[in-house]
């Protein structure tokens, strides 16, 4: 699922901080995609099948260098009832779908799994699709352990110029990846998606996109409206807000979700971190201890410090279902010097596998954002002012979300204008279903309304909850509406709402 990129790349303040309103030309549709060769599938374990799709690195030179896109599917459970393929994108940008589908397939309602092949892919630059992988796993873990919050004016300068970490990750990535970094944007991923549709033998695309996946779905509707069957865009990124507005919205959203968790914990005797009815005071004290240099032990000889404390908080606040784990994680860190559960939250957030390797999710995020919108870095004065304002307003998340300056490092290769995001609007595609959660910490509800207005004929399903993502999250009301749309292309009635 999509996660804020809180540090390492000073190319944007967080995952959903996409500056998506830069002027640019809409990309032309890729000609000849319906002639794409069918995919050749092979068994890859646990009932999944895998394949690769060859696509151009640069669509302006379609016969030039090609890149292999990793594809995975879970065949329909009832071959006799199978209708078509349903393609998923799990957001990020940078989530490796071929890994996530294996975790998420069983959360999709049986009515859909029975009649659809569940399909996903690793977008270019991620997972198994020529990944933006810049440092080895040991180096990445060391970088992730370094404190991600500036301490004083001297630290602000170091965080601004990129010298706050022991490795200059941007320089390393540019040296290792070169011009490939200019070709990983959403316009090209949408072209790849259309090639995938054709290779699957589908005349029109059926698609579910979460968070950043809503951007991909909207671009696809703009560039390939004639190839759309049904698009579910869940937890919409706001395509109108500026990067600074989105940064503020994320800080407010996560701080609000934390407030809700703390209030729930204070009232629940079963919350492990209830702390005599005042978990906020206990959390403030624990934060201050981490900021003062506290580290706690974790399994495998690893440790948890300030960086992983903040990341654990963020990771758990995406879904109310993770609150019990967060309560236990905070209790164990504060009372037992035990970082086991904070470490587990971090591992899920960073894509760390059981064997100690990482997917490249966190390394890819910033470069994809900058391929979409090569926005100039803010001035140091603007960065200082923003940091001061957000840390004063949001005591837990201001520093971690404002610690990196908004904008792209000038060393990153710039995408061609036909590959940048531009103004995303679609009026010719069939009706689209947009899901918005009223207290989503990562993509505030206003983004769903904005996306509806950008996509002619779209309908919003409102979910009254505090979490990121609605479909396949155990809410029967949401699942029933989405299933009806996917199966019958029947939109919910105007004003439809689902409670938690």
Per-residue pLDDT of 456-482, as tens digits, reads: 989 999 999 988 999 999 999 999 999
Record the tokens describing residue 303, joined without a space.
Answer: 């440790």
The catalytic residue among 16, 85, 211, 404 is: 211
> What's the CATH fold of domain 1-245+360-388+403-500?
Rossmann fold (3.40.50)
Please say if the pLDDT value at position 10 is more than 80.
no
* Spatial separation of the C-alpha atoms in residues 128 and 54, rounded to whole Å: 12
Q: Is 192 a catalytic residue?
A: no
> Who contacts 237 (Cβ-Cβ below 8 Å, separation ≥6)?
16, 18, 20, 211, 212, 214, 215, 443, 447, 451
| C-beta of residue 3 within 8 angstroms of C-beta of residue 315 | yes
Quickly state the pLDDT bin for 33 (edges 50, 70, 90): low
The pLDDT tens digits of the residues spanning 316-350 come to: 999 888 999 999 999 999 999 999 999 999 999 88
Record the tokens describing residue 113, joined without a space.
Answer: 């799994």
**Helix (H/G/I), strand (E/B), else coil: 69:** strand
Q: Is 440 a catalytic residue?
A: yes
**Axis crossing angle, helix 323-336 with helix 306-316, rounded to the nearest 10:** 160
What pairs with residue 460 in β-bridges?
A: 434
What pairs with residue 121 in β-bridges?
A: 71
The residue with greater pLDDT, 349 or 215, is: 215
Q: Which pLDDT value is given to residue 500?
A: 84
The catalytic residue among 30, 440, 465, 483 is: 440
- Total residue length of the chain: 500
For 139, other C-beta atoms within 10 Å of its C-beta total 14
The catalytic residue among 372, 468, 479, 483 is: 468
Q: Which pLDDT value is given to residue 35?
A: 60
Q: Which pLDDT value is given to residue 369?
A: 92
Q: Which pLDDT value is given to residue 93?
A: 92
| C-beta of residue 270 within 8 angstroms of C-beta of residue 329 | no
Q: Is 468 a catalytic residue?
A: yes
Instruction: Look at residues 280, 273, 422 and name the one whose alpha carbon lies nearest to residue 333.
Output: 273
Average model confidence (pLDDT) across the chain? 90
pTM of the model: 0.90
Please say if the pLDDT value at position 27 is more than 80.
no
Q: Where are the domains of the chain?
A: 1-245+360-388+403-500, 268-350
Quickly state the pLDDT bin for 24 (edges 50, 70, 90): very low
Please say if the pLDDT value at position 391 is more than 80.
yes
| C-beta of residue 172 within 8 angstroms of C-beta of residue 63 | no
């Amino acid at each position: 699922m999509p996660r804020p990129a809180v540090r390492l790349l000073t190319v944007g303040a967080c995952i959903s901080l996409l500056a998506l309103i830069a002027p640019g030309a809409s990309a032309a549709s890729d000609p000849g995609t319906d002639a794409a060769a069918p995919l050749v599938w092979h068994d890859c374990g646990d009932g999944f099948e895998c394949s690769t799709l060859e696509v151009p690195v640069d669509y302006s030179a379609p016969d030039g260098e090609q890149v292999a896109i990793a594809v995975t599917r879970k065949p329909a459970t009832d071959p006799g009832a199978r209708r078509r393929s349903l393609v998923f994108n799990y957001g990020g940008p940078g989530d490796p779908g071929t890994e996530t589908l294996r975790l998420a397939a069983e959360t999709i309602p049986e009515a859909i799994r029975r009649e659809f092949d569940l399909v996903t892919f690793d977008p270019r630059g991620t997972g198994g699709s020529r990944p933006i992988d810049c440092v080895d796993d040991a180096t990445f873990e060391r970088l992730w352990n370094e404190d991600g919050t500036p301490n004083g004016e001297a630290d602000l300068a170091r965080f601004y110029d990129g010298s706050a970490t022991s490795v200059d990750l941007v320089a390393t990535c540019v040296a290792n990846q070169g011009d490939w970094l200019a070709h990983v944007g959403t316009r090209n991923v949408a072209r790849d998606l259309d090639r995938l549709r054709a290779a699957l033998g589908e005349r029109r695309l059926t698609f579910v996109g979460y968070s950043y996946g809503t951007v991909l779905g909207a671009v696809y509707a703009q560039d390939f409206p004639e190839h759309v069957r049904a698009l579910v865009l869940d937890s919409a990124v706001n395509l109108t807000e500026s990067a600074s507005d989105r940064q503020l919205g994320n800080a407010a959203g996560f701080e609000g979700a934390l407030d809700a968790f703390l209030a729930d914990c204070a009232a629940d005797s079963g919350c492990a971190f209830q702390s005599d009815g005042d978990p906020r005071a206990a959390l403030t004290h624990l934060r201050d201890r981490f900021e003062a240099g506290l580290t706690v032990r974790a399994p495998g000889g690893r440790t948890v410090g300030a960086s992983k404390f903040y990341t654990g908080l963020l990771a758990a606040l995406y879904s109310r279902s993770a609150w019990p784990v967060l309560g236990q994680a905070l209790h164990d860190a504060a009372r037992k010097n035990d970082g086991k559960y904070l470490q587990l939250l971090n591992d899920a957030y960073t894509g760390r596998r059981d064997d100690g390797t990482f997917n490249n999710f966190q390394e890819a995020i910033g470069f994809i954002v900058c391929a979409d919108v090569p926005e100039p870095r803010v001035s140091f004065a603007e960065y200082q002012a923003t940091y001061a304002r957000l840390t004063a307003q949001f005591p837990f998340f201001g520093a971690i979300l404002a610690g990196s300056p908004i904008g792209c490092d000038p060393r990153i290769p710039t995408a061609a204008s036909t590959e940048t995001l531009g103004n995303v609007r679609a009026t010719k595609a069939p009706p689209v279903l947009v899901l918005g959660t009223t207290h989503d910490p990562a993509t505030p509800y206003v983004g769903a309304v904005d996306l509806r207005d950008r996509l002619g004929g779209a309908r919003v399903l409102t979910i009254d909850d505090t979490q990121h993502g609605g479909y396949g999250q155990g809410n029967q009301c949401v699942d029933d509406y989405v299933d009806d749309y996917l199966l019958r292309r029947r939109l919910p009635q105007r004003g439809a709402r689902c409670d938690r």
